[in-house]
Structure 1
Amino acid sequence: MEQTASASGPPSGGQPPSTRQVLIADDDAASRKIAAALLAASDYRIRFATSGEETLAAVGEERPDLVLLDVMMPGLDGFEVCRRLRERLSGEYIPIILVTSLDGRSDVVQGLKAGADDFLHKPVHGAELRARVSNLLKVRAYHQLLAAQRDSALATVELLRQQVLHADRLATLGTLAAGVSHELNNIAQVLRSALDTSSADDDGWAIAANTTSRTVLTHVANHVTELSRTLLHIARPAGGSTPEIALGQTLEEVHNMLRITGRIRHAEVSLVLPQERCVIRASPVQAQQVFLNLIGNAADAVVSSSSPRIEAGIRPQPGGRLEAWVQDNGPGMSEGVLARIFEPFFTTKPPGLGTGLGLPVVKQLVESWGGHIHVQSRPGQGTRVVLDLPAVQAASP
């Protein structure tokens, strides 16, 4: 079985050498002892393996920093062990030095093709062994530094991405707040009209003569509750594992949110919903965020149209895909504007009415689901935004 040895000596390789681990794999006990003795002065932590199978098991149990691998071993030879290690280690870099008495050029080429970093011939010269091990350990330390920097950069990018998503949610809340204010004003008028049962407000809140104060108060309470739930639903951050959601239901929820808050009061909005459930894997809040942005943009686009219309729909497509779209009959966009719509902070809306984050966030979210977004628009012909999304396939009965 595997053994461990250690010795003292000067530091090398970027980390304290005693933390650097070298796995010596050789079926010959004398060769293992010689290699360990030659490396003793460098203070590496030494482990041993006596066969190809034991080498693979040792690397699986604890990652070494370098493998000194004999080619001629019973069972799995060094070439095959090297190939398997490269497959298992995948993106992680661990140097492998093949040690052998073979001296043919074809053997060297075979070892390099198997993934070896270097080749040493027996009998091994001590200074050469130490130099090659030291150099390759420095290369591994550099790879580890790059990996740590990459992980740190990815963590920073993810943090910034979450901040952008949060900023867009807050912007959406701010836009909806104006609608909520309008609705609350309507509710106040309803309460006042309860004192005059013959009145009706501008939005059709008629109070019949036989309506009791209790009925009015119940209706108002329900409406206020629905408004508050709508805002909380948008503000709630995503969390936990990514669930499966019915996209048609999400679209209906968003339509109700925008209707309740008065965001689409001025437009005729039609939904095209499929008979079957169209399911994707996504955060419900983020899916709502996508449709809120798209329909909200459409609502802004048609505000000056004589007969403002918005259509939003979902339908299944061949190949396990779904198509979702939002279309308006607004003024459309020029080629210059269309080319910039996914640039962060670019907006054609007046100051204070748009952050320029909506479409970049939508694109980011759709692509994180494995989908694509396409925008078709021409001046005077409106705009159509199409999402191509992967559907979650129904489980076989």
Structure 2
Amino acid sequence: MPEPAPPFTASLADGAASPPRVLIADDDMLSRTTVAALLSPAGYRLRFATNGEEALLAVSEEPPDLVLLDVMMPVLDGFEVCRRLRESLRGDYMPIVLVTALDERQDVLRGLEAGADDFLHKPVHGAELRARVSNLLKVRAYHQLLASQRDSAMATADALRQQVLHADRLATLGTFAAGVSHELNNIAQVLHGLLEPPGPSAPQGTVEVMDSGDRDMLAHVASHVTELSRTILNIARPEQSSALDADLGRTLEEVRNMLRLTGRMRHARVSLVLPEQPCRIRANPVHAQQVFLNLLSNAADAIADMPEPSIEAGVRTGKDGRVEAWVRDNGPGIPDAVLGRIFEPFFTTKAPGHGTGLGLPVVKQLVESWGGRIHVHTQPGSGTRMVLDVPAVAPPLP
């Protein structure tokens, strides 16, 4: 292995802003010295390599902002070094200038195919060298600015995605709150009936004694209240979860029970097709609940006016290590004019105040974040079937 090239040396005084770094790779000491002297007025930080392997090692240790690469070098020539650098630096743009005495068209073409940005012919002219290096460093700075803006945009997009997920959860929570209010009113009526004192027609001296049936009724009511509060807490749970995966079969059953407790699906016949073995996927369990809540709630809305409303939902092991889940209703189906827009944020066919237009976009976003896909099968008059196809978590080894 060749010895590592010396680190970049600064040409500016200590305390000055760090200048661009330039790697000069050439096996001829006179050529390296000449190029360094010609670049000295620009104040670049210079590093040197005497062959192709040293050049690759220097770039891996401390990536320069630009490489001046001699073509005719021992061990690895400049064409091969250029090609390897382009392969290893796919995510970052670093200008490479081939400095060569070769002047044949085929040599120029070979250099361009290897990924070179420019050519300089020996003997190098100082003003031309400085102009080309300066221009290519400006191009690199522009690429770095674009990369920084891209990273900032991605961070902003992720923050907005979290806001959309939160907004959809709040909307779901609001819908459930209305159902819970109705259920609590029914419970209050039961409690009033059990706790009312004897009426005026009761015989004088009658003392009300609660029988076993009343006690059972109170126990049932208390259990119902507990489940309602647990449902609200599940929906409003913070985004962060210590769990790394979710069992979709169990999640589907939990969501069905949530919807039953709030009376959301009381008007429909609901059947579940659940697997015998867990069907686990790499997902936040709260997000998995959010997906099924949206799909089942949409199905319940779709069949509200049907004479015999029914919903089927299920989970099963698919092919090639994947999990398939579905929600099917016997509603009117989705018209073609609407089908193409159902995943658009804020698009809704519901009456004002009854839908945010975030449910299905959030479902699609979450499913795709799991590495999955969502398919819609619908036909006017024949209902709708939403199908999720998601990679499964490999079962632990015995």
What's the CA shift for 1:146? 1.3
**Aligned residue in 1 for 2:37:** 37
Structure 1 residues 386 and 396: alpha-carbon distance in aligned structure 2, compared to 1, 3 A threshold: same
Structure 1 residues 53 and 220: alpha-carbon distance in aligned structure 2, compared to 1, 3 A threshold: farther
**Aligned residue in 2 for 1:92:** 92
For residue 19 of structure 1, give the secondary structure of its aligned residue in structure 2. Answer: coil
**Aligned residue in 2 for 1:264:** 265
Deviations 1:17-68 (A, max 9, x none): 8521111122333222211111011111112223322222222222211011
The answer to whether the Cα contact below 8 Å between 1:8 and 1:40 also exists between their aligned partners in 2 is no
The answer to whether the Cα contact below 8 Å between 2:371 and 2:390 also exists between their aligned partners in 1 is yes
For residue 212 of structure 2, give the secondary structure of its aligned residue in structure 1. Answer: coil
**Aligned residue in 1 for 2:372:** 371
TM-score, length-scaled by structure 2 = 0.88
Paired amino acid for 1:308: P
**Aligned residue in 1 for 2:336:** 335
What's the CA shift for 1:89? 0.9
Structure 1 residues 193 and 138: alpha-carbon distance in aligned structure 2, compared to 1, 3 A threshold: same
**Aligned residue in 2 for 1:6:** 10
What's the CA shift for 1:324? 1.1
Structure 1 residues 17 and 36: alpha-carbon distance in aligned structure 2, compared to 1, 3 A threshold: farther
**Aligned residue in 2 for 1:108:** 108
Could you tell me how far apart the structure 2 residues matched to 1:340 and 1:102 are? 59
Structure 1 residues 212 and 329: alpha-carbon distance in aligned structure 2, compared to 1, 3 A threshold: closer
The answer to whether the Cα contact below 8 Å between 2:8 and 2:21 also exists between their aligned partners in 1 is no
The answer to whether the Cα contact below 8 Å between 2:370 and 2:391 also exists between their aligned partners in 1 is yes
Structure 1 residues 3 and 337: alpha-carbon distance in aligned structure 2, compared to 1, 3 A threshold: closer
**Aligned residue in 1 for 2:351:** 350
**Aligned residue in 2 for 1:298:** 299
**Aligned residue in 2 for 1:248:** 249
Could you tell me how far apart the structure 2 residues matched to 1:79 and 1:240 are? 51
Could you tell me how far apart the structure 1 residues matched to 2:39 and 2:255 are? 67
**Aligned residue in 2 for 1:323:** 324
What's the CA shift for 1:218? 5.6
Structure 1 residues 335 and 212: alpha-carbon distance in aligned structure 2, compared to 1, 3 A threshold: closer
Could you tell me how far apart the structure 2 residues matched to 1:211 and 1:51 are? 93
Structure 1 residues 80 and 41: alpha-carbon distance in aligned structure 2, compared to 1, 3 A threshold: same
Percentage of pairs with the same residue:
69
Deviations 1:107-138 (A, max 9, x none): 22222111111122222111111111011111
The answer to whether the Cα contact below 8 Å between 1:96 and 1:117 also exists between their aligned partners in 2 is yes
Structure 1 residues 334 and 393: alpha-carbon distance in aligned structure 2, compared to 1, 3 A threshold: same
Structure 1 residues 317 and 237: alpha-carbon distance in aligned structure 2, compared to 1, 3 A threshold: same
**Aligned residue in 2 for 1:380:** 381
Structure 1 residues 240 and 217: alpha-carbon distance in aligned structure 2, compared to 1, 3 A threshold: closer
What's the CA shift for 1:377? 2.3
Could you tell me how far apart the structure 2 residues matched to 1:158 and 1:234 are? 21
Listed as ranges, the gaps of 5+ residues in structure 1 are 10-15, 199-206
Deviates more, 1:313-322 or 1:175-184: 313-322
Structure 1 residues 268 and 388: alpha-carbon distance in aligned structure 2, compared to 1, 3 A threshold: same
For residue 342 of structure 2, give the secondary structure of its aligned residue in structure 1. Answer: coil
Deviations 1:316-361 (A, max 9, x none): 2222232211111122222212232222222121221111111111
Could you tell me how far apart the structure 2 residues matched to 1:365 and 1:163 are? 13
The answer to whether the Cα contact below 8 Å between 1:242 and 1:281 also exists between their aligned partners in 2 is no
Structure 1 residues 39 and 155: alpha-carbon distance in aligned structure 2, compared to 1, 3 A threshold: same
Paired amino acid for 2:212: N
Could you tell me how far apart the structure 1 residues matched to 2:144 and 2:241 are? 30
Deviations 1:180-210 (A, max 9, x none): 1122223323433443699xxxxxxxx9831
Could you tell me how far apart the structure 2 residues matched to 1:101 and 1:362 are? 61
Paired amino acid for 1:346: F
**Aligned residue in 1 for 2:203:** none
1:209 aligns with 2:211: yes
Could you tell me how far apart the structure 2 residues matched to 1:333 and 1:219 are? 40
1:160-171 matched pairs, under 5 angstroms: 160-171=160-171
The answer to whether the Cα contact below 8 Å between 1:5 and 1:47 also exists between their aligned partners in 2 is yes
For residue 99 of structure 1, give the secondary structure of its aligned residue in structure 2. Answer: strand
For residue 48 of structure 1, give the secondary structure of its aligned residue in structure 2. Answer: strand
Paired amino acid for 2:211: A
What's the CA shift for 1:393? 3.1
For residue 326 of structure 1, give the secondary structure of its aligned residue in structure 2. Answer: strand
Deviations 1:78-121 (A, max 9, x none): 22221111111112100011112333332222221111111222
**Aligned residue in 2 for 1:232:** 233
1:1-150 matched pairs, under 5 angstroms: 1-7=5-11, 18-150=18-150
The answer to whether the Cα contact below 8 Å between 1:197 and 1:208 also exists between their aligned partners in 2 is no
Paired amino acid for 2:58: A
Could you tell me how far apart the structure 2 residues matched to 1:337 and 1:161 are? 24
Aligned residues: 382
Structure 1 residues 391 and 2: alpha-carbon distance in aligned structure 2, compared to 1, 3 A threshold: same
For residue 86 of structure 1, give the secondary structure of its aligned residue in structure 2. Answer: helix
What's the CA shift for 1:370? 2.1
Listed as ranges, the gaps of 5+ residues in structure 2 are 199-208
For residue 5 of structure 1, give the secondary structure of its aligned residue in structure 2. Answer: coil
Could you tell me how far apart the structure 1 residues matched to 2:335 and 2:8 are? 71
Paired amino acid for 1:7: S
Kindly report the root-mean-square deviation, in angstroms, between the aligned alpha carbons of the 2 structures: 2.6
Could you tell me how far apart the structure 1 residues matched to 2:68 and 2:160 are? 43
What's the CA shift for 1:72? 2.3
**Aligned residue in 2 for 1:201:** none
